[in-house]
Chains A and B, each alone.
Chain A
Amino acid sequence: MREHELEQRLGEALSDPAPPPRAVARVRSMMAGPVASAWASILERARALHATILLDTRAHPALVGFRAGVSEGFDVLAASEGRELFLHIRQRPGSAGFTVKGKVEGAPGAAGVCGIAFFEAGSASLVCDAHTDREGEFGAEVPAGRYDLAVGLDPPFLVPGLALE
């Protein structure tokens, strides 16, 4: 295949628009359980308590010891009232989606399991959710998009506008 032919094919492949996250969320929820309704009230409370982003390695590619690219992964650290949420995010090979591995730390009482949910940014559309294990660790597969990330501690908090793209 000649280079200009590949360039043309590449341009055509990249000109296809991605489906909007809200449409992806609706389609994902076709196989969702009853969790979506439970998350609605948690999201409402979480909106009152926004976490502060302490670190996003995409903005600091030169930081030693941190990963910054999309395919090799990048790290985000957010905090709210002494609780911390650490995320390592990596694009999945062969997919437009992302693998998110995270840890919730410093929960009062350290009572183990809590829920994490990705909502389409600025809306109540639940895209996916996960639960931590007793060490506070969790994993999720998330489509590309912009998200409000709700952490279901008591009180719940929100990491708004997390861009995975």
Chain B
Amino acid sequence: MREAHTTPDPQSQDPALVEACLKGDRRAWASLIDRYGRLVYSVPSRRGLPPEACEDVFQDVFAILLKELPRLRDAASLPKWLITTAVRESARAARRAGPTASVLPDVQAQPPPEEELAAAEERQRIREALDLLGDPCRALLVALFGPEKPDYSTIARRLDMPVGSIGPTRARCLAKLAAIVRSRESA
């Protein structure tokens, strides 16, 4: 629980990063990409676009961001801006793929942008909370709930921990994560 209070909320650093980017600070630009790259990439990916199109959307969104930085009025709402732009660019990419492309029905079948926006922001908040949690909890929860889902003996070997301690540690780590999520939601 302590991490939630001692580690600054990543999103609170956005205005300073945007300001630094405007001064040409490459590290600040890299930090923004690290922080929000997965969020941006998830939009076309979840809409069923092929990997090449996802990369194009990812690149286009950040190119637009770089161009629009001086006009970004509210840097604190950057995640919303990125998701909205990614949704728009994904639709554009799907149109470019043409009506015969198999991606189009999948794109149309997705929830409307408002729901998509809320869901993407939620996933981003969980990932940020997970990063704030730190290892070994972070590594254990990623192993348990990530897409790979290895069995307990594999996790124990990888994380160098006894199989019998995975269950209790899992419960403790989930409780810590819940505390971080709660503290950020009420902030």
Contacts and interface: CB of A to CB of B under 8 A. Distances in A.
B41 A1 contact: no
A23 B41 CA distance: 10
Interface in A95-111: 95-97
Contacts of B130: 10, 13
Nearest to A4: B174
Given A23-B55, A24-B37, A96-B131, A32 B26 contact: yes
B157 to A, nearest CB: 12
Contact of A9 (B9, B24, B31, B126): B126
- The number of chain B residues touching the other chain, given as a range, is 35 or more
B120 to A, nearest CB: 8
A18 B131 CA distance: 15
Interface in B142-178: 142, 145-147, 160, 171, 174, 177-178
Contacts of A71: 134-135, 138-139
Contacts of B8: 94
A44 to B, nearest CB: 24
B27 interface: yes
B147 A15 contact: yes
Contact of A16 (B30, B66, B123, B135): B123
Given A19-B55, A31-B26, A69-B135, A14 B41 contact: no
A84 to B, nearest CB: 26
B26 A6 contact: no
Contact of B177 (A10, A17, A19): A10
Contacts of A15: 146-147
A10 B126 contact: yes
B136 interface: yes
B46 A16 contact: yes
- The number of chain A residues touching the other chain, given as a range, is 35 or more
Contacts of A7: 145, 174
Contacts of B46: 16
Interface in A9-61: 9-20, 22-24, 26-28, 30-33, 61
A24 B55 CA distance: 9
Contacts of B29: 28, 30-31
A30 B26 CA distance: 9
Nearest to A139: B27
A93 interface: yes
B122 interface: yes
B132 A93 contact: yes
9 contacts: A10-B130, A20-B55, A27-B37, A27-B63, A71-B135, A95-B31, A96-B38, A97-B35, A128-B26
List 7 tightest A-B contacts by C-beta distance, closest first. A97-B34, A94-B10, A71-B135, A13-B126, A16-B42, A19-B41, A13-B123
